[in-house]
């Protein structure tokens, strides 16, 4: 009998180390005694960014609550979900790069996060913006990952409904959100009244044309009118000639 051994790679070893090491595993209250963030995550993310198409579309949350402690953690949770989706459709070479980045942020899955809230709204951007944001969140989180308890961050929070929703920060390599701006009220009113105006103009032109047609006689009628006047004058001429004959 032939037994096939599973493929082994340094990435798999590092992921297994994260899962088994008691110092790196998150406790039930989501705290870490040793930092799970490596010192080379920027290089790992840059390798994937250089290989990917810069305009590959992804989505990011546009209304996450701006929280100094939990905000970076929440962004990494959403980024890790995208890494899992991309790995499912990527080729073999791409999968290794995605797995390397996923390993850098896989520690967020060691905490028992609640399902995503229904209030989250997403906008479309590109993969370069997502990777840049992931790198920035790791930089912000690294000094505090072993000093803070993240048990209060296990449920993603949305901004209040009445507050303005900020769009993702602009980046020279980021694709702006694709939503079109809403038309202004005067322009919308003009577009609604335009068909009515065209209909009224057409009706007025038709009425004018019909009146002009009724007032203008046909050419045949114009030729007949002089003859009619001559016929009407015949009795007067005949009577005048008979009067002269009598005298």
Q: Do residues 122 and 59 make contact, with C-beta atoms less than 8 angstroms apart?
A: yes
Q: What is the pLDDT along the chain (247 residues), one digit of tens a residue?
A: 333 344 445 444 544 444 444 444 444 579 999 999 999 999 999 999 988 877 889 999 999 999 999 999 999 999 999 999 999 888 888 899 999 999 999 999 999 999 999 999 999 999 999 999 999 999 999 999 999 999 999 999 999 876 554 544 444 433 333 333 343 445 555 566 777 778 888 888 778 777 777 666 555 555 545 554 444 444 554 555 555 555 4
C-alpha distance across the termini of the chain, in Å: 153
* CB 141 within 8 Å of CB 47: no
**pLDDT at position 198:** 81
Helix or strand or coil: residue 124? Answer: strand
Q: Check residue 96 and give its pLDDT.
A: 93
Look up tokens 């790679």; give the residue: 9
Q: What pLDDT sits at residue 149?
A: 94
Residue 141's pLDDT is 95
How far apart CA 125 and CA 62 sit, in angstroms, is 11
Whole-Å CA distances, 152 to 58, 64, 114, 134: 28, 15, 11, 21
pTM of the predicted model as reported, rounded to 2 decimal places:
0.56
> What is the Cα–Cα distance from 223 to 228, expressed in whole angstroms?
9
């Amino acid at each position: 009998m032939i037994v096939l051994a599973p493929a082994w790679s340094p990435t798999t070893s590092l992921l297994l180390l994260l899962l088994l090491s008691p110092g790196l595993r998150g406790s039930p209250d989501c705290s870490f005694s040793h930092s799970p963030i490596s010192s080379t995550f920027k290089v790992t993310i840059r390798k994937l960014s250089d290989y990917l198409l810069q305009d590959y579309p992804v989505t990011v949350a546009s209304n996450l609550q701006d929280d100094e402690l939990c905000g970076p953690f929440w962004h990494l949770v959403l980024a890790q979900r995208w890494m899992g989706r991309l790995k499912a459709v990527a080729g073999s070479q791409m999968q290794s790069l995605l797995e390397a980045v996923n390993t850098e942020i896989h520690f967020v899955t060691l905490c028992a996060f609640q399902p995503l809230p229904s209030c989250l709204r997403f906008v479309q951007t590109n993969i370069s913006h997502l990777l840049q944001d992931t790198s920035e969140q790791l930089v912000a989180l690294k000094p505090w990952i072993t000093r803070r308890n993240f048990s209060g961050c296990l449920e993603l929070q949305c901004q209040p409904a009445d507050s303005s929703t900020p769009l993702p920060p602009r980046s020279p390599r980021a694709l702006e959100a694709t939503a079109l701006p809403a038309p202004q009220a005067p322009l919308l009113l003009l577009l609604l009244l335009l068909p009515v105006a065209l209909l009224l103009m057409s009706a007025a032109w038709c009425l004018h044309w019909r009146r002009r047609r009724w007032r203008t006689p046909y050419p045949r009628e114009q030729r007949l009118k002089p003859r009619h006047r001559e016929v009407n004058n015949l009795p007067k001429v005949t009577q005048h000639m008979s009067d002269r004959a009598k005298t």
